[in-house]
Amino acid sequence: MSKLQRTEVTDWMGEKGAIRPCEACGAQQWMVPHLEDGDKDAAIQLHMIVNNQLTDTVGFTPAMCVNCGNTRLFHIDAIKAGRK
């Protein structure tokens, strides 16, 4: 699957109603990371542990409020599934 582009993330956020005022300050402008060709799809990778066992690595992309820095995380697989 090809890399997620910034426009794909923001389009997905708009379709899901995720572009709404910031919970912390009320601003409505968000920025998402730009991933270069050599980067992974996910800007953030979290290792999931169940019953003290590493089960999976899950990727997220952040959306950060331009005004206050409040950050939301969106699961990469949800975004990829929404663009099929």
Structural contact between residues 30 and 66, judged by C-beta atoms closer than 8 angstroms? yes
Does residue 1 lie within any of the structural domains?
no
**What's the mean pLDDT in 62-72?**
93
In a domain, 67, yes or no: yes
Q: Is residue 22 part of a domain?
A: yes
Residue 8, Cα to own-chain centre: how many angstroms? 11
Residue 50 counted as domain residue = yes
Position 43 in a domain: yes
Please tell me the total count of domains within the chain: 1
- DSSP H or E segment with residue 53: strand 53-65
Mean per-residue pLDDT for 56-84?
83
Domain residue limits at 19:
6-82
| pTM for the model | 0.68
Enter the tokens of residue 51. 């019953």
Per-residue pLDDT reduced to its tens digit, 17-64: 888 999 999 999 988 876 655 555 667 788 888 888 888 888 888 889
Q: Which residues contact 80 (CB under 8 A, 6 or more apart)?
A: 1, 4, 41
